[in-house]
Structure 1
Amino acid sequence: MITAVIIAVVVIAAAAVLFVGLRRARGGGRGLKHRFGPEYDHTVARHDGDVRAAEQELRERVRLHGSVKAEPLPPGARERYAAQWAGVQEQFVESPQQAVVEADALLARLARDRGFPDGERFDEQVAALSVHHAHSVHGYRKVHTATRGQAGTEEMREAMVEARRLFEALVAEHTVDSNRHGRQSTADRGHAPWALPRRHAKGSGTS
């Protein structure tokens, strides 16, 4: 009788532990999906649908980069960056490829100046940015991919348009964690000074 009671207690305790573990795992998955948004789906796709591996990677990103604090830009840097970005967009008309190369380098410098890992380690920098700007980091990734010279003009234009959202978040005087606020910037709502032409580059085609 005593042995049966002990076995029953052990079984009940094990079931309780398993139940709590499953609830935490499910809750953790929902939390990661809410926090990372489109970056969550991107990571799952990169792991060929392996949700467990993707979530493990995202948790590791949070562990490594969750404590990153945005550094203030030096005096005048905000204006310089805004002028440089405007110049890159103007350059896109004549040379889309060179424009995305310069936009990629500009975003890397800006992220570094805001306290994120150096852009020479692109994967690490994007991983850190994704923890704090998961809803806008994809444009930076697309611009970086476009620097390889295999994208058409329209694809590069779309990359630039998406990347400006991260640019605006990083250049803002008070950087806000864009994971908490899925709001579009004024540029994403069609603010005219940020508009890019669809196709005026000489000798360029779309893919």
Structure 2
Amino acid sequence: MTLSPLEIGLGLLVLVLLAGIVMLVVQGRHRANLRSKFGPEYSRTVEAVGSPRRAEAELQEREKRVASFSIRPLSPQQVDMFTDGWMRVQTQFVDDPQGAVSRADVLLTEVMEVRGYPIADFERRSADLSVDHPQVVQNYRSAHDISIRHARERRTRRICGRR
């Protein structure tokens, strides 16, 4: 049986359409997996970079980068030490909320460093943290912003001579 050029063309068209459908399904699943894994961080990243495709590339790059880290669990002694530090931060909050927020920010940076996360700058830290803790990183960013705002206010008060 010989196929006519029209039949061959239609067959190729069907194959191209099937390949396109498979590609769309795979992309849709991949997007759904990233949305599920990163939660609100997915939406924040889309907004920050301007498109879902670029956001997904960014999130995948984060995953690759974090996979190369040597993340280690805390020892029982380190857990006790950081738990004590966290308790002190919480008790400090009543008398000095600004200082407590700043100390909490420092404490979290220390925990990340001990666990093996690079701590070069806040944006990189929060991006790296989002891979394993996407639900928490939003609060981390908010607390860090508060800490920065309070530090600026303290500097402004000192410069202006107010307490």
After the TM superposition, which residues 164-175 of structure 1 pair with which residues of structure 2 at under 5 Å, given as runs? none
Partner SS, residue 117 of structure 2: coil
Task: After TM superposition, give the deviation of residue 75 of structure 1 in Å.
Answer: 5.1
**Structure 2 unaligned spans of 5+:** 152-163
Partner SS, residue 148 of structure 2: coil
- Tell me how far apart the structure 2 counterparts of residues 106 and 145 of structure 1 sit (CA, whole Å): 15
Conserved 8 A contact 2:98-2:150: no
Partner SS, residue 148 of structure 1: helix
**Structure 1 unaligned spans of 5+:** 152-207
Q: TM-score, normalised by structure 2?
A: 0.80
2:59 aligned partner, one-letter code: L
- Tell me how far apart the structure 1 counterparts of residues 134 and 69 of structure 2 sit (CA, whole Å): 14
Partner SS, residue 27 of structure 1: helix
- Tell me how far apart the structure 1 counterparts of residues 36 and 67 of structure 2 sit (CA, whole Å): 15
Conserved 8 A contact 1:126-1:141: yes
Q: How far does the alpha carbon of each residue in 1:113-153 deviate from its partner, in whole angstroms, 9 at most, with x for none? A: 112222x32222222211111111211111111122269xx
Q: Of 46, 67, 80, which aligns to 1:44?
A: 46
Q: TM-score, normalised by structure 1?
A: 0.64
- Tell me how far apart the structure 2 counterparts of residues 74 and 150 of structure 1 sit (CA, whole Å): 33
Greater alpha carbon shift after TM alignment, 137-146 vs 36-45: 36-45
Larger of the two Rg values belongs to structure: 2
Q: How far does the alpha carbon of each residue in 1:39-88 deviate from its partner, in whole angstroms, 9 at most, with x for none? A: 2222223345x322222221221222245453132452111111111111
- Tell me how far apart the structure 2 counterparts of residues 84 and 129 of structure 1 sit (CA, whole Å): 20
Corresponding residue of 2:83: 82
Structure 1 vs Structure 2 CA RMSD: 2.1
Partner SS, residue 107 of structure 2: helix
Q: Of 1, 4, 9, which aligns to 1:2?
A: 4
Conserved 8 A contact 1:97-1:149: no
Task: After TM superposition, give the deviation of residue 26 of structure 1 in Å.
Answer: 0.7
Decide whether aligned partners of structure 1 residues 84 and 150 sit closer, same or farther in structure 2, where only a CA change above 3 A counts.
Answer: closer
Number of corresponding residues: 149
Task: After TM superposition, give the deviation of residue 6 of structure 1 in Å.
Answer: 2.5
Conserved 8 A contact 2:72-2:115: yes
Conserved 8 A contact 1:39-1:134: yes
Moved over 3 A (4+): 66-70
